[in-house]
Chains A and B, each alone.
Chain A
Amino acid sequence: MASSGSDEPPASETEPEIPGAECSIYEEVIWLDKTEQNQRLAVEELIKTEASYVHTIQLCVSDIRAHLQQKQLPDLDLEGLFSNIDDVLHVSRRFLKRLEAAVSHTEQLNQISALFQEFKEKMESVYKVYCASYEQALLLVESYRKDPRLQQEILDTLNTMVPHTGASDLSFFLVMPVQRVTKYALLLQKILENTSPSDGAYPALQSATNAMLEVSANINEYKRRKEVAFKYNKAEQLTLRERLARLNTHSIAKKTTRLSRLFMHEAGIVPKTEDKEYDDLEEKFQCLASGVTMLKENMGSYLNNLAVFLISKPHECELEIEEGAVQQYRRLAGNLHLTIFPEFRRRLNRVVYQPLCSLTDALKGPQQLIKKRLDKLLDYEEIQERKSETGSVTYDEEAAMNTYLAINALLMSELPRFNQVALQLLGQILNSLVALQREWAKKVLEETTRELAQLPHSHLPLPTFWKMVEDTLRQSGTQLHAFCQKFETVMPSPLVQSLSPAEERRVLSLVSKHSPDKLYQVISNISGSKDLDLTLQRGQIVALLHGMDTKGNTNRWLVDAGGPRGYVPAGKLQPYHLDQSQKPRMQMLAPDDRAERRRHSYTFPEAPRPPVPIVTPASQVVAGFSFAARSPQEVSLQAGQPVAVLEPHDKKGSKDWSLVEVNGQRGYVPSSYLVMVPPWEPLGWSLPAWSPPTQQT
């Protein structure tokens, strides 16, 4: 009936215009009624189903989900199950209201079509998200089914809230939006079928149907791309074992084919499928990626250096200078370090470095996808080749080809946007960097100028200032030098003292053997450790024989210690100058040499022939014992009295008596009663042991 109706020229539905052809008109009317009826039925169906759909979704959201939420089951991922069902509900409710309003209108079909056109974008965006996450939701439901406790909870909820539906599973509800969005197209098609093409609303209806079909297709495409992206855009961190476990013949075969293709590409054996547009995009992306990573690295090192700078705080070292420029500097540096610099660092972190890090993270996804695309491209080409040879492909190969196409399409569509946005972000970051630097400079400048204003020389223009500073510093330099000198002149140690007579004799013998300028005095005790090393006491005089040892070491000198010879460290020797006053003693000492040497074997004869003490006029002489003068030429002595020896012998030349002056008196005293006290006693050289000569009357 409908087909016969369509043969007839389109006429208005209600009034049969052509009288006469009663039969056919009646038929037409019947047909028209039928189609109209069907149409109306279809429209009603649309509205009714929409209403029930909205109602069910409402139940789902408000009752089921709320109930489950109340139960507070921690293992239940409500977000993952229901995703954006709120949005779906919202859109659908609005749609329903408008639909109901449109139906009561006369031009309802037009209205309906217009409504669909109006809503199609909104629907697409909302359902897109829901459908994309639907797969995940199903997986979740599966996993919950396996968990008896959760399953029990879910069943319980369902039974309490929606017993009339008799549903045993959440998936019953979850699938509804997915079904609905495709149903729109079907419903519209039904209405379209039952509308004659002559109807004024026909074109509108048709475009509305097409629109909804497009919506469904888009949602599918979106879902597929999302899946592909999700599958491949994470760089998997597999351990070596996991990677090995994944190897099997299939994967190995796959990888080898890919590799061989790649070689063939590079070698030029097989032409590469060139996609100029894609290559451009990819290149741009790679530049961007490298630029971003480099910037991040550099920023990182900049921040590190800033941190190091902050750590070294010279202004905190104590100089104990209370006033003047120092305090200001301290204040300034303190402020800078405590507040301004850290603030700069913080801001830099927040506005420059963190976004950079996030941007670098965002880069990883596309990079991974690009890699995968290349792999899939190689597969695709393989399969293409085989297809051209064999003419058909297996289901797997078909799937592989589709994956490649999906990835390619995805990248092509989204990379430009990515590049653009990323570049803008980069620009923003750089702007922030610049602005921050400026503000930082401004703040520091404020601080420093404030301090500067308090300095005495702030008004001086710059060159004069530097000149002044230079001059002052030069002056200070000379002053310091003077100080240095002063301290150094303190240094010479007081070792220039007279020596004991034995020492002196040794010195003289040394001098006679070597030249006087080769004499050195020992500054501190030397203990010899190796063979040929001398052990010397402080103050001893030695003569330098050789300025270095046999091995050429100039720090060890061969010296003559007046008997033993050996090595001593050069650092412990100091040049010694002979005292001029010692020279005249030489004559005196020489003949007494033998007497000295024989001293130890002497037993002291009775006075007045005691062994001759060496009396030198340069050294201090003290009366060792009391002596009572027995003749006017003699003079009395008290023990311990210092005396001045005028002549160490009497008029007859006898050494037994010495002419001394004591207490203003002059006279002779037995020389043996006199003790010579050298002002400085060398350690280790003991004075010859004296025993008091027996008094003889």
Chain B
Amino acid sequence: MKKSTDADVAMSKSAVKISSDLLSNPLCEQDPKFLEMVMALDTAMKRMDSFNQEKVNQIQKTVIEPLKKFSSVFPSLNMAVKKREQTLQDYKRLQSKVEKYEEKEKTGPVLAKLHQAREELRPVKEDFEAKNKQLLEEMPKFYSSRIDYFKPSFESLIRAQVVYYTEMHKIFGDLTEQIAEPGLTDEQREKENEAKLSELRALSIVADD
């Protein structure tokens, strides 16, 4: 998610660079119409960038940080699971010892050892069961809490985008009214470009490859 926002910011910044570089080009000084077009473009791009930054900030606050917080629960969860594993190992070990003694013939020392082992086993078993139960209770709760947890994040993602693109649409709408012909389709634009390019190529100073 973070990469996505970073790329978004980078995109916007390079858009601004386009227009500001053009503005700094001395070409603008020579042709007033060109100059005003480039200036309009530049203001538009800069405004876009500020909106984009706002959008990214919002997303940061409402999505990325909650995500981080959510994932910070996981380490402690993992620790708890590991502990449970450990106790499980102990439990199994002692259990097998008890069983071993139970299988041997019931002589005095064996019985003593058996008793001893059973005694050892008991608290471990209780401990394990307690941990297990706790985890069994808590983990599903945690898991299901994520739904409600993330709901606002996603809503805000969408909402932020709506805001941003409304602004963008408005800004560029104004811009096109100002300087461009909005009605052309791509093919028409392509044709126009091609026409100009072939005009250029017709000049003999341009190399024909």
Contact = CB atoms under 8 A, between A and B. Distances in A.
Interface string B164-178: 011011001101100
A302 B180 CA distance: 21
Contacts, number: 317
B180 A417 contact: no
A449 B135 CA distance: 42
A347 interface: yes
B80 A494 contact: no
Given A305-B11, A326-B154, A677 B116 contact: yes
A175 interface: no
B14 interface: yes
Interface in B136-170: 138, 141-142, 145-159, 161-163, 165-166, 168-169
A328 B205 contact: no
Contacts of B154: 324-326, 328-329
A18 interface: no
B184 to A, nearest CB: 7
Contacts of B62: 469-470, 473
Interface stretch (A3-11, A206-214, A474-482): A474-482
Interface string B111-138: 1101110011011100100010011001
B115 A329 contact: no
A579 B147 CA distance: 46
B112 A448 contact: no
B175 A639 contact: no
Contact of A291 (B3, B22, B77, B176): B22
A450 to B, nearest CB: 10
Contacts of A324: 147, 151, 154
A227 B123 CA distance: 102
B186 A347 contact: yes
B158 A690 contact: no
B4 A309 contact: yes
Given A410-B205, A640-B114, A427 B70 contact: no
Given A287-B27, A423-B31, A369 B205 contact: yes
A445 B166 contact: yes
A425 B197 contact: yes
B103 interface: no
A295 B38 CA distance: 12
A620 interface: yes
A421 B200 contact: yes
Interface of A: 225-226, 229-230, 233-234, 284, 287-288, 290-291, 294-295, 298-299, 301-302, 305-306, 308-309, 311-314, 319, 321, 324-326, 328-329, 332, 347, 350-351, 355, 358-359, 361-362, 364-366, 368-369, 410-411, 414-415, 417-418, 421-432, 434-435, 437-438, 441-442, 444-445, 448-449, 451-452, 455-458, 462, 465-466, 468-470, 472-473, 476-477, 479-480, 483-484, 486-488, 490-491, 493-494, 497, 620, 622, 624-626, 639-640, 642, 675, 677-681, 690, 692
List the 4 shortest-distance A-B pairs measured between CB atoms, nearest first: A640-B111, A438-B172, A677-B116, A365-B207
